[in-house]
Amino acid sequence: MALKEKIESRRARVGIIGLGYVGLPLACEYVRAGFPVTGIDNDASKVEQLSRGSSYVQDVPDEMLKARVGPKGLTATTDMAALKDCDAVIICVPTPLRKTRDPDISYIVSAVDGIAREMHPDMLVVLESTTYPGTTEEVIRPKLEAGGLKAGRDFYLAFSPERVDPGNPRFNTKNTPKIVGGTTPACTAMAAALYGKAVDTVIQVSSTQSAEMIKLLENTFRSVNIGLVNEIALMCDRLSLDVWEVIDAAASKPFGFMPFYPGPGLGGHCIPIDPHYLSWKLKTLNYYAKFIELAAEINGNMPHYVVTKIVDALNARKKPVNGSRVLVLGVAYKKDISDVRESPALDVIKLLQDRGAEVLFNDPYAAEVHLDHGTLRSVPLTDELLAGCDCAVIVTDHSCYDYARIVEKSRIVVDTRNATRRVGAGREKIAKL
C-alpha cells in the first residue's frame, strides 16, 4: 500500500525520535488521531516511565498518556532498529549551542544516521528540531540519499518547525498552525497530508529553507523586541520613570504597537538560543546580524542589572550583599512550568553567590537546580523564611504565589516581573526593574 493511502486510512506507523516536551505531545496527538506510534529516545528511564503510563512532560497529564500507551497506540523504545517498521519518521531532538555559540546539530546527525540504516522506499522523514536554514537540504538529504534512494522520487523529506509553548493553556500541538516545507512539492504535500490528520491547520511553504527560516524569524522577533523593552526599562530607571506604567499606557493604542515586557533575562530552549543559529549562518555568508547580537547583549546583561537592584535595595537599608540571606522566588524560565533551562534565575543566583550572599530559593514546580557552587533545593515558603531573609527576589511570577503575603512578611522585595502590581500595603518595601 502506498504511503498516501496508509496516511488516509491511518495505517501508517509514525516514528518519533526524541520524546521530550516536543516529541511526546506530538506522539499523543497522532495516537489520538488513530495512528500507531513508535517513540524512540536514548534515555532508557524515559522509555520505562512512558511504558508505565507515567508522564514527565507537564503538558501531557498521566491520564492522557495512560489512555494512549499500548500496542495499538504509543510504544516506546531505545532501539533505532524499530524505525524499519515505520512509514513516517519525525525528528524532535535537542539542538543546543556550543559554548562558542556555534550550532550543535550532533543530535540531528545521530538521528539521521539511525534513520539511514533503516531507510526504505516510500518513507517520509520530517525534521522538527530548530536549526539554521539549509540543514535539511545540506546535511540530512545527502545522508539519506547515500544508499541510492532519492528525495522526492523514492522517499519524502521535509522540515516542519516545532512551535510548542510549554504551559500555554490556550495553544497546544493540535491547535497551533503547522508550517511544512519539503525538498520537492511532492515532499511538501506528503508531509502536509500526515500533519493534517493530527493538527487543525497546516500551512505549506515553498522549501525546507523557508520553513527553517520561519522558525528563526519567530523567535528572533521575540528576542529583539524583548531586548528593546529591556533597554527601555534601563532608560526608565535612569529617568526615574515606571516602565510598567509606560508600557501599559502605550498598549492602549489600538494599532501599530505590540506590548512586550521587561524581565530578568531570557530563558528556555528557544528564544535565548535560536537567533544565534541565524546569526551563525549569516556569518558564514560574511553578514553580521546586528539586531540579533545587540539584543543578545542587552538580554544577557539583565541578570547583572537585577543583582544591581538587589544590592541597591540592601544598601538602602545599610545591609551589604556579602553575608545577606537572599530568597529567590521562582527558578523556572517562565511562570507555571518546571523547565529551568537557560533560566535567568540561575545567573542571578550565581552572581549573588559570587558576591558572598547566602542564596535560597523556592519554586513550587522545580525541586532543585544544579549550579557551579553545587545543588540547591527548593525550601518551603513559610512566613518564618520570608521574615528571616534580608531580601526576597521575584524572578519567576508563578500564579500560585500569594504576592500580598510575600510583601507583608518580607523585609525587602525586588520584583523583576511586576508581579506585585496589585499589592496595596507595603509598597515601600518593593523595588522594581
Instruction: Please name the residue ranges forming H helices in 73-200.
Output: 106-117, 135, 141-145, 185-196
Contact predicate 352/310, CB 8 Å:
yes
Which three cell numbers mark 139? 546535511
Do residues 107 and 139 lie in contact, with contact meaning Cβ atoms separated by under 8 Å? no
Dihedral pair phi/psi, residue 86, rounded to 5°:
-95, 145
**Active-site residue 400, yes or no?**
no
DSSP letter assigned to residue 12: P
d(CA 9, CA 35): 9
What span, in angstroms and rounded, lies between the C-alpha atoms of 214 and 269? 17
Q: How far apart, in whole angstroms, are the C-alpha atoms of residue 325 and residue 346? A: 16
Q: With contact defined as beta carbons under 8 Å apart, do 78 and 46 qualify?
A: no
Nearest CA among 373, 367, 368, 363 for reference residue 328: 363
State the pairing for strand pair 368-371/430-432: unpaired
Beta partners for 158?
126, 182
Q: CA 347 → CA 135, 266, 338, 341, 363, distances in Å?
A: 31, 11, 17, 11, 16
392 - beta bridge partners?
A: 327, 413
Whole-number CA gyration radius for the chain: 24
Active-site residue among 28, 86, 92, 270? Answer: 270
- Evaluated on CA atoms 272, 275, 281, 283, the torsion sign reads negative
Place of cell 524572578: 395
Q: Which residues contact 163 (CB under 8 A, 6 or more apart)?
A: 176, 177, 178, 179, 215, 218
Encoded amino acid at 375, one letter: T
The rounded distance, in Å, linking the Cα atoms of 46 and 122 is 30
Residues 230, 342: Cα–Cα separation, whole Å: 17
- DSSP character for 140? I
Positions marked catalytic: 270
